[in-house]
Amino acid sequence: MNFFNFADWLVILAYLLGIIGLGVWFGKDQRNTRDYFLGSKNIPWWGIGLSIVAAETSALTIISVPAMAYGGNMAFLQIIVGYVIARILLAVVMVPHYLKGEIYSPYQLLENSFGPSARQLAGGFFLISETLAAGVRVYVASIPVKLMLGDQLLGFGTGDPILGAILLFVVLSLFYTYVGGVKAVIWTDAVQFVLFMAGGLFTLFYIPTLMEGGAGALFAKAAAAGKTHWFNPEFSLCLPFNIWMGVIGGTFVVLSSHGAEQLIVQRVLACRTVADGRKALVLSAAVIFPLFFVFLLVGVMLWAYYQQTPMAIPIPEIKPGSGIKANDYIYPIFMMTAVPHVLKGFLIVAILSAAMSSVSSALTSLASVSTMDFVKPLARKERSAAFYLSFSKASTVAWAALLILVAYLSREVEYVLNAAFSLRGLTSGALLGALMLVLLWRKGTALPVVIGATASLIVMIFVSRFDWTQTTAAGEVVQVKVAWPWFTLIGTTVTLAVAWLTRAVLRRKPSPAA
């Protein structure tokens, strides 16, 4: 079935060419790693603020957030409360540390306080977790995009439409990231944010025009079915989402992702001043709540729409362990079958823009850490600025190839997929705990930090695999486990406790002279 006409393809092609052209434009003045990884520190704060939101918003987010409301309700909004709180805390506490002097990653703060081994451990944790997580994001986003763009187009030259979708995301993102560095990534992210936010707002206003009674009847039906419910005051370590999970767990998740992981911190480091860094984070806080609110409302509206309208095409068969659920197809199916031509092209562009922004962000952050936290500090002789710029670009290509490999393996090896989805939660507490020790201890030896972070990883592997039986109010026995928003808090607590205990033991140990 052909869902697109010439005008739709023209919109998609214009977007792809425009994004690549924008990246090339910003890549014309790359002279050294400061230009490539810090954007010459001349990017306005508002562009960086929009880029922060785009970097954390993958295509899967745009697809799965409406799916959550479609299959349940708007309770995920409670998690976003913590996302906002964390950004404010980071703006107040951490930004002055990031912009005191000129650093390329938060892991340099660890070396300044505890030595190179602490920096390299944290950098290694980030490289592994981000490679797996980003590779899987590409793969999972490729599944519904395959449905939208079709097997024939994406199978070009490969005979495999999923591989074609993976190559589309990674190669196009690589092109402008390779040429323009973080400056190209930030500006294309800002444009891509506008595109997928506009796509959500369009859907929000468009669906009521398709329904008898308009928005009033739609929300009345949704409210009667409990779809607009968002507040759960009951404390629980397990799903469903609750306000404690949002305010406490969600806050710690973002304290780590935006305070201790290079993917987001790199953008703050590109700010001119502390004031600019704070304004960028506060802008992202102001934007993130309405972004998720819009897409959760889209899911509520899609539920109401499909109560009265048969689904034009069936939901494809879901591969076990694929990381995508049946409801994740609802929004793409609506785009393809219920939206007029041209506008349909713009909605597909919204999904593509979210996918490409997350890929380009991963590439520049991985290249930055591998070059500036490993290769340059460990080099045995002085190298020129041109050498490190060339190496940075080469490493960007190497990370792109690795993302393609991880994304492709994710469809074949369930272990890789499951590990990738959980690994960021496994390492996030270790990274945040190590950074908190910089603030608490100022100076010290690396051993307590290394032992604390390693212990956190071991404990979190156990926590992620541990589950137990629980009887519901209806008398049903179900398997439950600790929900992911608590992972960072647990890991951070373990890191701090073990590091503190290790330091106490080392201090009590008698010196050899005694």
**Does 417 have pLDDT greater than 50?**
no
User: How far apart, in whole angstroms, are the C-alpha atoms of residue 258 and residue 261?
Assistant: 6
**Does 414 have pLDDT greater than 70?**
no
Q: Please tell me the least confidently modeled range out of 84-88, 327-331, 454-458.
A: 327-331
CB atoms within 10 A of CB 120: 19
Structure tokens at 99: 């912009």
Q: Please tell me the least confidently modeled range out of 287-301, 472-486, 488-502.
A: 472-486
**Does 234 have pLDDT greater than 50?**
yes
Q: How confident is the model at residue 155 (pLDDT cuts 50, 70, 90)?
A: low
Mean pLDDT of 204-216: 93
- To 5 degrees, how large is the angle CA 341–CA 344–CA 350? 155
Q: Quick one: pLDDT at residue 198? A: 94
User: How far apart, in whole angstroms, are the C-alpha atoms of residue 107 and residue 365?
Assistant: 12
**Does 464 have pLDDT greater than 90?**
no
Kindly state the DSSP code that residue 371 receives in the 8-state scheme. Answer: I
Q: How confident is the model at residue 156 (pLDDT cuts 50, 70, 90)?
A: low
**Percent of the chain topping pLDDT 70:** 92
User: How far apart, in whole angstroms, are the C-alpha atoms of residue 211 and residue 487?
Assistant: 41
Q: Where are the alpha helices (DSSP H) in 258-329?
A: 262-269, 274-308
Mean pLDDT of 122-147: 88
Higher pLDDT, 108 or 58: 108
**Does 380 have pLDDT greater than 90?**
no
- CA-wise closest residue to 246 among 491, 80, 74: 80
CA 225 to chain centre: 31
For residue 240, is the peptide bond before it cis, meaning its omega torsion is within 30 degrees of 0? yes
Longest dimension (CA), the chain: 87
Does residue 389 contact residue 179 with C-beta atoms inside 8 Å? no
User: How far apart, in whole angstroms, are the C-alpha atoms of residue 149 and residue 336?
Assistant: 9
Does residue 111 contact residue 438 with C-beta atoms inside 8 Å? no
Higher pLDDT, 200 or 420: 200
**Does 171 have pLDDT greater than 80?**
yes
Cα separation values, 308 from 247, 329, 396, 467, Å: 37, 18, 48, 39
Helices (H) and strands (E) in the chain, counts: 22, 2
**Does 42 have pLDDT greater than 50?**
yes
User: How far apart, in whole angstroms, are the C-alpha atoms of residue 176 and residue 179?
Assistant: 5
Task: Give 270-274 contacts, CB < 8 A, sequence gap 24+.
Answer: 270/38, 270/39, 270/41, 270/43, 270/48, 270/182, 270/183, 270/186, 271/41, 271/43, 271/45, 271/48, 271/95, 271/99, 272/41, 272/42, 272/45, 273/99, 274/95, 274/96, 274/99
Mean pLDDT of 217-231: 95
What is the SS3 assignment for 465?
helix
What is the SS3 assignment for 469?
strand
String of b and e for 315-340 (b: at least 16 CB within 10 Å)? eeeeeeeebbeebbbbbbbbbbebbe
Kindly state the DSSP code that residue 470 receives in the 8-state scheme. Answer: E
Q: How confident is the model at residue 315 (pLDDT cuts 50, 70, 90)?
A: confident
User: How far apart, in whole angstroms, are the C-alpha atoms of residue 299 and residue 78?
Assistant: 16
User: How far apart, in whole angstroms, are the C-alpha atoms of residue 75 and residue 231?
Assistant: 6
Q: Please tell me the least confidently modeled range out of 43-52, 214-223, 350-359, 429-438.
A: 350-359
Higher pLDDT, 247 or 61: 247
Q: Quick one: pLDDT at residue 439? A: 96
Q: Quick one: pLDDT at residue 469? A: 79
CB atoms within 10 A of CB 451: 18
**Does 514 have pLDDT greater than 50?**
no
User: How far apart, in whole angstroms, are the C-alpha atoms of residue 379 and residue 364?
Assistant: 21
Q: Quick one: pLDDT at residue 163? A: 85
Q: Where are the beta strands (DSSP E) in 372-438?
A: none
Does residue 235 contact residue 67 with C-beta atoms inside 8 Å? no
Task: For 13-39, write each residue's pLDDT tens digit.
Answer: 999 999 888 888 877 778 899 999 999
Kindly state the DSSP code that residue 380 receives in the 8-state scheme. Answer: S
User: How far apart, in whole angstroms, are the C-alpha atoms of residue 29 and residue 27?
Assistant: 6
Q: Quick one: pLDDT at residue 420? A: 52
DSSP assignment of 9-74 = HHHHHHHHHHHHHHHHHHTTT--SHHHHHHGGG-S-HHHHHHHHHHHH--HHHHHHHHHHHHHS-S
Q: How confident is the model at residue 493 (pLDDT cuts 50, 70, 90)?
A: very high
Mean pLDDT of 68-73: 95
Q: Quick one: pLDDT at residue 39? A: 93
